[in-house]
Structure 1
Amino acid sequence: MPPHVSADHPAAQPPGRGPVDALISQTRRLRGDVDAVRRDTQSDGSNPRERWQRALCDLALHQLNDLDEHLAQLRDGPSAASPAPAAAPADRAAAPASRTGALLSRVGSAEWNLLTDEASWSGELYQILGRDPAAAPLTLDELPALVLDEDRPMLTSMVTHCLVDAKPIDGEFRIVRPDGEVRTVHMMGEPVLDSDGSTASMWAVLRDVSELRRSQHALSETRDSLQRDRHHAQTEHRLAVELQEAVLPPWRGSLRLPHQGPRTLDLAARYLPSSTSALIGGDWYDALELANGDTLLSVGDLTGHGVAVTSGMATLLGAVRGMAMAGTQPGQLMSWLNQLLDATVQPALGSAVCCRYRPDTRTLTWAQAGHPAPLLFRDGTGHRLNAPDGVLLGATSGAVYAQAEESLRVGDLLLLHTDGLVPRHSRTDSVHRLLDLAPRFGGAHSAQDCVRLVVEEFGESERADDACVLVARVMS
């Protein structure tokens, strides 16, 4: 195709091959690096962030493919734009798989002479539009026949502004190829002015940007998906926090139970959130004065995170309170909790320890379901109570839970906790680290001071799961 000459700007000459070859080499090295990252991000498509990362890589690869082809055309000059020979019949069977790849963002050019009504197309433009290279190029009046109906006014407006008002062309429209495939074409052009300033012809470059727009659309969809997921996660977190705050005991600081009578427990508790997850778990603590003057103490953990788990925790805690108020002993209470979990629509596992303290005899009756046993601190030392038999809640139908009794003394301190309290340690190691606090507990003035010591020791640790701690101190 002859170079475009305007009255204002002479045709530019292509740069030397050396610098362009160096740019091509750099582009291809970068394309290889991006492709390696793209392969590393392959997944089953279920993770929105991974889909977004892959879409970004696809977009970058398309753009680097474009740059490679454009630099090659710049290096080889106008002769590279000659029409490509038609594929032989033997080659056409293998062509469909690679044809789309061959069309990725190719650039063609055209010139329409208004004085002679002649048109000149490059070979690349024939390929982009799916036209037979042997056919005559379409005139400006015939070109809209290739364009989708809804995009024709846009093309007509761009061409009119270029020819009448001498404005540059810059816009996109969709064309329908003879094989029925719809492609998106980006067109840029300028009027070529005659010596008297009138428009003599119009030239344009047309770029197939179908794959680029498809990648951008996929990127936009995954970005929107990520935003929806982020909003959903934030909403779920807020609901879980609100539900947890509504269910857990509202008291802060120390609490004395029972409210009436000379013999009381000094109580304090704390919920410690996970440091690595934004979702709220199913941990709970509870202290409740019962109708006959006894005190209910319980901690537990329902596996998982999120609103559903927090809702399940609320159900279990409500059941614990209701059955304890009805006089159910800890062992039977655990059996019925197990039946409750076993009957839920969504299978779940939980652990719990439930204690019933009788103040007139200072007797603690307790049962556990796959949960760390309470720790008893007395006279500056501590030990773990011997746990009665009990499997995880929801693990098996018809499980039977034993219960044990412990006689307490004035000054004794009872510590109940969930598994996540001491991060990255086994249950045995966690117990040893808690028992090491015995001398410090001996110097504490209240249950709240003891909870504060636990939080100072373990509260700032990198915690993979949330946790609860409850301390009860026998005052009289």
Structure 2
Amino acid sequence: MSSHLHADHSAAQPPDRGTLDALITQARTLRGGLDAVRRGAEGGPDGQGPPEPGPATADLRARWQRALCELAVHQLDDLGSQLDQLREGLPPETPLTGPPADLPPDHTAHDGTGIAHGTLPPPRPATASELVGRVGSADWNLLTDEVSWSPELFRIFGRTAEDGPLSLDELPSWVLPEDQPGLATAFTDCLVDGRAVDHEFRLVRPDGAVRTVHLVGEPVLDDDGSTASMWAMVRDVSELRRSERAVRETRDSLQRERHFAQTERRLAVELQRTVLPPWRGSLRFPHGDDRVVGALDLAAHYLPSATSTLVGGDWYDALELPGGATLLTVGDLTGHGVTAASGVAMLLGAVRGMAVAGVGPGPLLGHLNHLLDAAAQPSLGSALCCRYEPHARTLTWSQAGHPPPLLFRHGRGRVLSRPEGVLLGVTSGAVYGQRTEQLAPGDLLILHTDGLAPGAGQEGTPRRPGAPHPGAVRLLGLGDRFAAAASAQECVRAVAEEFDDRAREDDACVLVVRIAA
């Protein structure tokens, strides 16, 4: 998120894009070569067209050559499709939905759609025997009514040799009702018009499992040109189709999640921009007049997290109060996104209202603590609340589990001793102390949140009691640059340059206050 102000085990990595492009190119080259082989297999003796009807057309060797070509073409097409999906950046391993091939009926629920319900573990590569077992062959003789099936085809249909093969008339009864018309049309085109079959359908096995199969076949013509028989190769593509369905569902889910995340981030950013002061450059309190005794020169900067795109719950604010005093506050509410931004809006509205009503910093934090403790969705927060009186140049401040302000005078900085105060929302009835600091012309105050330095905002990160905050240590080292700066805005620029950390894991903000000389 850009600023509103100027200033355990490693996962397996997918192949790089160059490797995938090379594999895709090789697959397409093989596909083109295979097409040439297939055209030669389909040609006549001279390779220039279909052969003349006769006994040669029923040659078993030629039929199997054509069938294997068709099978290889489909395999290469599937491989090309999967490589394209992998190149698009989809996870190489995705959970598959649907039952395993051989689950018993009580583990498979079928709703008539051809999709069985359940959850598969991540897929494993198929062995050579499994790949071979997914392809079977059949031959239906229309003249003798003889049917010949390969053992693999019996396994695909879940039948035994004792059950016998299915005739063309029996086959449709095994197919899902919505797939039967298409299969009937394909068979009619083959048996009546002599067209090749290339069709995919779903069948229901005796155990209730639904399998998706791809049938490639051709009519076998007799000497008169009539269809004498039909042969086919049947490939079980159930796992492939489940994988493709899982990829589609994963892509759709990722797109929905991405859209939701983008919408949430946009709403959080807009809400944050509405809540935080829209300063550009330095701000003068009283407005536009630095000749008033004790006038303030202010500038602020929001530093987004380097590891998260979500808006955090950090805030800063400065507000002129009735009577000439100024409210200065920074804080950090747990959480990210819209929830954190809306929580900041609630807290900052309460802070402004109570400060305008004249509530002092200590009691004000006590009311904020009660507000968070009584909220419908309790959360934790840290805060720093200051009231500056310009005529006396005094700063009265309180803190709730927050890093104390830094005071720079003549280029030398120190951390102000902080009063008692626990995190907001930790306990009911917490009491927050106050301290008053006498300021002098030219003094510089820096208020910041605890995510400023890498690791500083991590929960559970121990720090020695009394030790300065990691961000404060680095800020104290900028004393010379602050002393040479001509405005609060230049000081903010120095902070932004110092804390331009790519490793910062939390959002942070800094508020610079300079007392006019």
Normalised TM-score (structure 1) = 0.79
Letter of the 2:57 partner, please give it: A
Q: Does 2:126 align with 1:65?
A: yes
Question: Which residue number in structure 2 is paired with residue 472 of structure 1?
Answer: 513
Aligned mate of 1:256, from 268, 284, 289: 284
Q: What's the CA shift for 1:117? A: 2.7
| 1:203-257 CA distance string (max 9 Å, x none) | 1122233333333323332332222111111111111101000100012110001
User: Matched residues in 1 for 2:122 and 2:401: separation?
Assistant: 52
Q: Does 2:317 align with 1:267?
A: no
Aligned mate of 1:430, from 471, 485, 488: 471
Aligned mate of 1:211, from 239, 243, 263: 239
Letter of the 1:466 partner, please give it: D
Letter of the 1:107 partner, please give it: V
User: Matched residues in 1 for 2:381 and 2:211: separation?
Assistant: 57
Question: Which residue number in structure 2 is paired with residue 388 of structure 1?
Answer: 419
Letter of the 1:262 partner, please give it: V
SS in 2 for 1:237: helix
Structure 1 gaps, min length 5: 16-48, 74-104
User: Matched residues in 2 for 1:400 and 1:142: separation?
Assistant: 85
CA contact (8 A) 2:403 2:469 kept: no
CA contact (8 A) 1:373 1:416 kept: yes
> How many aligned residue pairs are there?
404
User: Matched residues in 2 for 1:6 and 1:266: separation?
Assistant: 99
CA shift in 2, pair 1:290/1:50, >3 Å: farther
User: Matched residues in 2 for 1:421 and 1:66: separation?
Assistant: 54
Letter of the 1:463 partner, please give it: R
CA contact (8 A) 2:444 2:515 kept: yes
SS in 2 for 1:7: helix
Q: What's the CA shift for 1:53? A: 3.6
Question: Which residue number in structure 1 is paired with residue 397 of structure 2?
Answer: 366
Aligned mate of 2:155, from 127, 136, 139: 127
SS in 1 for 2:61: coil
Question: Which residue number in structure 1 is paired with residue 440 of structure 2?
Answer: 409
Q: Does 2:328 align with 1:297?
A: yes
Runs of 4+ in 1 over 4 A off after TM superposition: 12-15, 49-52, 58-62
User: Matched residues in 2 for 1:333 and 1:343: separation?
Assistant: 16
Q: Does 2:212 align with 1:184?
A: yes
Question: Which residue number in structure 1 is paired with residue 254 of structure 2?
Answer: 226
User: Matched residues in 1 for 2:64 and 2:210: separation?
Assistant: 33
| 1:315-345 CA distance string (max 9 Å, x none) | 1111111100110000000000000000111
Report matched runs for 1:36-75 at 5 Å. Answer: 53-55=94-96, 61=123, 64-65=125-126, 67-70=128-131, 73=132
Report matched runs for 1:275-354 at 5 Å. Answer: 275-354=306-385
CA contact (8 A) 1:6 1:193 kept: no
Question: Which residue number in structure 1 is paired with residue 451 of structure 2?
Answer: 420
CA contact (8 A) 2:95 2:246 kept: no
CA shift in 2, pair 1:451/1:181, >3 Å: same
| 1:425-472 CA distance string (max 9 Å, x none) | 565332221101011100000000000000011124421111100000
Normalised TM-score (structure 2) = 0.73
User: Matched residues in 1 for 2:350 and 2:93: separation?
Assistant: 44
User: Matched residues in 1 for 2:121 and 2:428: separation?
Assistant: 54
User: Matched residues in 2 for 1:254 and 1:129: separation?
Assistant: 78
User: Matched residues in 2 for 1:340 and 1:59: separation?
Assistant: 47
Q: What's the CA shift for 1:167? A: 2.7
User: Matched residues in 2 for 1:385 and 1:223: separation?
Assistant: 53
User: Matched residues in 2 for 1:150 and 1:202: separation?
Assistant: 24
| 1:69-99 CA distance string (max 9 Å, x none) | 34xx5xxxxxxxxxxxxxxxxxxxxxxxxxx
Higher helix proportion, which one?
Answer: 1
Report matched runs for 1:15-54 at 5 Å. Answer: 53-54=94-95
CA contact (8 A) 1:6 1:194 kept: no
User: Matched residues in 2 for 1:52 and 1:148: separation?
Assistant: 30
Question: Which residue number in structure 1 is paired with residue 57 of structure 2?
Answer: 7
User: Matched residues in 1 for 2:199 and 2:122: separation?
Assistant: 22
Q: What's the CA shift for 1:183? A: 2.4
Letter of the 2:512 partner, please give it: V
Q: What's the CA shift for 1:115? A: 2.8
Q: What's the CA shift for 1:146? A: 1.3
CA contact (8 A) 1:412 1:473 kept: yes
User: Matched residues in 1 for 2:223 and 2:237: separation?
Assistant: 35
CA shift in 2, pair 1:228/1:187, >3 Å: same
Structure 2 gaps, min length 5: 1-54, 66-89, 98-119, 457-462
Which deviates the most, 6-15 or 292-301? 6-15
CA contact (8 A) 2:216 2:233 kept: yes
User: Matched residues in 1 for 2:477 and 2:512: separation?
Assistant: 16
CA shift in 2, pair 1:201/1:414, >3 Å: same
Which deviates the most, 143-152 or 379-388? 143-152
Aligned mate of 1:174, from 194, 202, 219: 202
User: Matched residues in 2 for 1:197 and 1:67: separation?
Assistant: 39
Question: Which residue number in structure 2 is paired with residue 30 of structure 1?
Answer: none
